[in-house]
Amino acid sequence: MHMFDSLRKKLREGVEKLSGKAEEEVPKPSQKDGSADVWEPGARGPGPASGASREERAETERSGDEKPVAGGAGPERARPGGAAKEDEKGRLAKLREKVSTRELTGSDIDSFFEEGEMELLQSDVALEVTDALREKLKEKLAASKVRRGKASGFVREAFRESLLEIVDRGSIDLEGLVKEGRKAGKPPLILFLGYNGSGKTTTLAKLASWFRERGFTPVLAAGDTFRAASIEQLEVHGKRLGLRVIKHQYGSDSAAVIFDARKYAEKNRLDVVIADTAGRQHTDKNLMDELRKVVRVNQPELKVLVVDSLTGNDAVEQARRFHEAVGVDCVVMTKTDVNPRGGSILSVVHTIGKPVLFLGTGQEYMNIEMFSPERFVRELVG
C-alpha cells in the first residue's frame, strides 16, 4: 500500500480523462483526402458553425500558408492585390488554429467531478474541497486552447497548480523559531492540541527528538493533567530522549504546569518548551475552556493541532472546533503510513487555511516527514 493511493489513483484518472477529452478527434468519414491529422473543436462538429469544411481542413493541412483554401470562396478571394492576400492569410491562420486545438469546456470538467465525487469523498476529500478544485480547474482549463499532443501535460499542470493553491499555506520555520527565542532569552512554547488517541503524545515526542538531533534541548511539559497515565507516558518519552519533564499532580491546572515549564526553560537556558494538553472529545466544553486558559496564560509561539488522518470527515470537524476555540497555527496529520486515502490532508488544510507542519509516518521517533506541498502534489498527480 502506498500513502494516499486511492486519492492518487482518482486524481491521475482525472488528468487522463480530461486530457483524453482534449485530444478527442472527430471521426472522419474518409481518409482518402489526407485529413487523417485534422480534428475539430469540441462537439460542435463540422459545418458552417465550425468554420471549415472537411476539404478546407485537408487543404490547410497539406498546403501551408500560401495556398488558397478550396471551397472557401468569397468576394475577397477574387479581389486582386495585397489586401485580399492579407485577409486570406488571417483566415488561414485562424483555420489552422482551429484544426490544431480543442477547447475543454466547463461541462467536461463538471462531468469528471459528477462521476468522481463519490470516490473523492471516499478518499476523504470534503465536498468543499471538491468544489474548490473544480472551480480552479475551470478557471485554468475551460476555454483554453489545448495544442494537440500536449493536452496531458497541460491538464496535469492545471491539476498541480489547483491542488497547490489548496494545500500550500506557507511554512513554519521551526529552527528559526528556536534561534529567535535564544536571541531574545525566551524559549518558545510549542503547544500540542488534539483528540485523545490522535497521536498527540507520540508526535510531540517525535518533534522533541527532531530538535535533539539538531542540537537543541527541549523541555517537556505534562499539560495533560486529566487522562490517566498521560504523565507517565510523557515521562517514558522523557527518559528515552534524555529530556526533563515538568509535571504536577493529576487534576491540577494545566496552564500552571506549562507556565512552570517555560520558567524552568528560561532559568536553565533550554531551547524550547514542548507541551502536551488534555484531549477529551472536542465536543467537551470544559476542554475548550481549559485550552483557552492555557493559551491566554502562556501565549504559545506555536499551536500545533494533531489530527489522526484516519478519522476521515471528522478530521475536518475537529480542526474547525479547535481552530475556532484557540486558533491553530499548523497541523500534523498522523498515521499517514496506514492511510491509503489521503484526502483528509486537503480537507483539513482547506478548512482552517493553515499549513501542515509534518506528517506522522509510523510509531517510531524517526517517523516524521516534514511536509512539502510541492512534493505532496507531485506524488498525487505526477
369 sits near ligand GDP (criterion: CB under 6 A): no
Q: Which of 60, 123, 334, 351 binds ligand GDP (CB under 6 A)?
A: 334
DSSP codes, 153-200: HHHHHHHHHHHHHHH------HHHHHHHHHHHT---EEEEE--TTSSH
The grid cell for 264 is 524552568
Q: Which of 46, 117, 362, 369 binds ligand GDP (CB under 6 A)?
A: 362
The grid cell for 94 is 485562424
Nearest to 19 by CA among 163, 131, 144, 165: 144
* CB of 127 or CB of 338, closer to ligand GDP: 338
Inter-residue contact 70 to 56 (CB < 8 Å) = yes
The grid cell for 252 is 491540577
* CB of 152 or CB of 196, closer to ligand GDP: 196
- Dihedral sign of CA atoms 197, 323, 168, 128 in order: positive
Residues 197-226 that bind ligand GDP (CB under 6 A): 197-203
Identify which range of 14-22, 165-173, 192-200, 210-218 contacts ligand GDP by CB under 6 A. Answer: 192-200
Residues 335-354 that bind ligand GDP (CB under 6 A): 335, 337-338
Residue 304 bridge partners (DSSP):
192, 330
Q: In whole angstroms, what is the distance from residue 264 CA to residue 2 CA?
A: 43
* CB of 63 or CB of 363, closer to ligand GDP: 363
Q: In whole angstroms, what is the distance from residue 147 CA to residue 150 CA?
A: 5
Q: In whole angstroms, what is the distance from residue 202 CA to residue 97 CA?
A: 59
Residues 123-162 that bind ligand GDP (CB under 6 A): none
Q: Which ranges of the chain does DSSP label H, i.e. alpha helix?
A: 5-23, 54-63, 75-78, 82-100, 106-122, 127-141, 151-167, 174-184, 200-213, 230-241, 254-267, 285-298, 314-326, 343-352, 373-381
- CA 306 remoteness from chain centre: 17
101 sits near ligand GDP (criterion: CB under 6 A): no
We find the least distance from the C-beta atom of residue 351 to ligand GDP, in angstroms, to be: 20
363 sits near ligand GDP (criterion: CB under 6 A): yes
Closest residue to ligand GDP, Cβ-based? 360
* CB of 197 or CB of 327, closer to ligand GDP: 197
Identify which range of 31-39, 40-48, 249-257, 330-338 contacts ligand GDP by CB under 6 A. Answer: 330-338
Identify which range of 25-33, 288-296, 321-329, 332-340 contacts ligand GDP by CB under 6 A. Answer: 332-340
Identify which range of 53-61, 163-171, 193-201, 241-249 contacts ligand GDP by CB under 6 A. Answer: 193-201
We find the least distance from the C-beta atom of residue 381 to ligand GDP, in angstroms, to be: 24
String of contacts with ligand GDP for each residue 275-294, x by CB under 6 A: ----x---------------
Identify which range of 21-29, 155-163, 249-257, 358-366 contacts ligand GDP by CB under 6 A. Answer: 358-366
We find the least distance from the C-beta atom of residue 133 to ligand GDP, in angstroms, to be: 26
* CB of 99 or CB of 345, closer to ligand GDP: 345
Inter-residue contact 266 to 187 (CB < 8 Å) = yes
Binding residues for ligand GDP, rule: CB under 6 A, are: 194, 196-203, 279, 334-335, 337-338, 360-363, 367
